[in-house]
Amino acid sequence: MSEASGLRARLVDVLRRDGGLTRDDLTRAFATVPREVFLADGFHSQDAGLLRPGDDGFLAGVYRNDALVTKLADGRPVSSSSQPSLMALMIEELGVAAGMRILEIGAGTGYNAALMAALGADVTSVDVQPDVAAKAADALRTAGVTGARVLIGDGYLGEPSGAPYDRVMVTVGVTGISPHWLAQLVPGGLIVAPVAHAGNNPVLRVWTEPAARIAEPGWPPRTDIWAGGVCGAGFMAAGGALGATYPWAHPASVRAADWAALEEVETARWPQPLDGLRYHDLWFGIGAWDRRTTGAPYDGGTGCVLLDETRTGGAAILADGAILAAGAHAATYASDAGILVDRWADLGMPGIERWRAALVLGGDPAAPIYVPREWSLV
């Protein structure tokens, strides 16, 4: 067994253990599709800088269960290969199967498209960055993948030439769902997309169903568009229409430099801090109930905060349920945050998958997007 094959097998074991990988056919795809081919120009490591093929640690890094940054612009990540466990979860959530036509928004390295093609799907991947699209297409050819094509284009518009699609996979953080994707989707089709929520990009499952309300006389039957939570996640944000704001959106995340000094106001609620997934469940719930919720860096990472109107203060919620606060109205914000945390705990700590929202048109009127209006537990 080659080094790469052994590392792929070890990655599969990790993905099965973490729960994102359950299907046998997808297991075979992860065990056989060479991720290193899709990282031919290397990736950026926080510890070692740019790692290229042949460098010490390159292959080991390729087969970690990590997102790998592949392109920087002014020091900011603008393209990457997503975390394999998240790829597995999203592919399984979509129910990708042989014979399906898949529209992928955001080509990345092409690895995700290769995995779906290995399942027998026909994949059309669209990316707005010409160099990213070209490298992904080259990697797919090098890997011998015949079931996927990469096109340069505005992801907001989808890709009519390949429509209709059975599924839409979105691999870039968006603030809403393009009407073009819905128009290019078969009846009963599904979309999986990371949609902005409270300073995060949790993955949502989007579908349509006949409206419960009776249409007005003379008007065609209505269709309701719904979203349900899948899991917490972080993605690079899209620009243009797919990154548009709307009046009831949460505030943008804040930088550490903008924050006043935080002080503990309420001590830990739980002896064991929530793990990453459960903390994202809490964060999602807080955001569903309070539009002041966003993300901010503190305590060595990025977490959930209620942001005040100055964007320099408010309350931060830690994984153990403790509350930190700062600013002129620190006490009020800390109290509000504590009430929200207790509400979530009293309801049994519901996961992201328990939330559902109807989508309505918002964003730029010239290029609208469907965005969640009100979240409720189901």
* pLDDT tens digits for range 13-41: 999 998 789 999 999 999 999 999 999 99
86 shares its domain with 191: yes
Whether residues 81 and 144 share a domain: the answer is: yes
Per-residue pLDDT of the chain (378 residues; tens, 9 = 90+): 689 999 999 999 999 998 789 999 999 999 999 999 999 999 887 776 788 988 888 999 999 999 888 887 777 777 888 899 999 999 999 999 999 999 999 999 999 999 999 999 999 999 999 999 999 999 999 999 999 999 999 999 999 999 999 999 999 999 999 999 999 999 999 999 999 999 999 999 999 987 655 555 555 555 799 999 999 888 888 989 999 999 999 999 887 656 778 889 999 999 999 998 899 999 999 999 999 999 988 766 789 999 999 998 999 999 999 999 999 999 999 999 999 999 999 999 999 999 999 999 999 999 999 999 999 999
Is residue 82 part of the annotated active site? The answer reads yes
Is 8 inside a domain boundary?
A: yes
Do 218 and 327 belong together in one domain? no
pLDDT per residue as tens digits for the range 84-110: 999 999 999 999 999 999 999 999 999
Domain end point (choices 243, 267, 289): 243
Q: How far apart are the first and last CA of the chain?
A: 48
Measure the CA–CA gap between 108 and 104, rounded to whole angstroms: 10
Q: How many domains does the chain have?
A: 2
Tell whether 208 is covered by a domain. Answer: yes
Asked if 189 and 289 sit in the same domain, the reply is no
Does 154 map to a domain? yes
Residues 198 and 228 in one domain: yes
Residue 249 belongs to some domain of the structure: no
DSSP E strands, the chain: 43-45, 49-51, 68-73, 76-81, 101-105, 122-127, 148-152, 165-170, 185-194, 203-210, 223-231, 263-266, 293-298, 301-307, 314-317, 323-326, 355-364, 367-377
188 and 297 together in one domain? no
Do 262 and 188 belong together in one domain?
A: no
Q: How far is CA 273 from CA 53, 200, 270, 278, 310, in A?
A: 39, 20, 6, 9, 30
Q: Are 75 and 153 contained in the same domain?
A: yes
Q: Is residue 248 part of a domain?
A: no
Residues 143, 77 share a domain: yes
Domain end (from 190, 215, 243): 243
Residue 369 forms part of a structural domain: no
pLDDT at 55: 86
Same domain for 135 and 266, yes or no, is no
**Do residues 172 and 42 both lie within one domain?**
yes
pLDDT for the residue 279: 95
| CATH number for 63 | 3.40.50.150
Contacts for 11-14 with beta carbons within 8 Å, 24 or more apart? 11/63, 11/64, 11/65, 11/84, 14/65, 14/85
Please tell me which residue in 82, 85, 125, 178 is annotated as part of the active site.
82
Confidence (pLDDT) at 256: 67
- Sheet containing strand 76-81, edge to edge, reads 49-51, 43-45, 68-73, 76-81
Is there a domain that residue 16 lies in?
Answer: yes
The Cα angle at residue 296 between residues 328 and 254, in degrees rounded to 5: 75
366 part of a folded domain: no
Find the domain containing 193 and state its range: 3-243
Whether residue 39 sits in one domain with residue 184:
yes
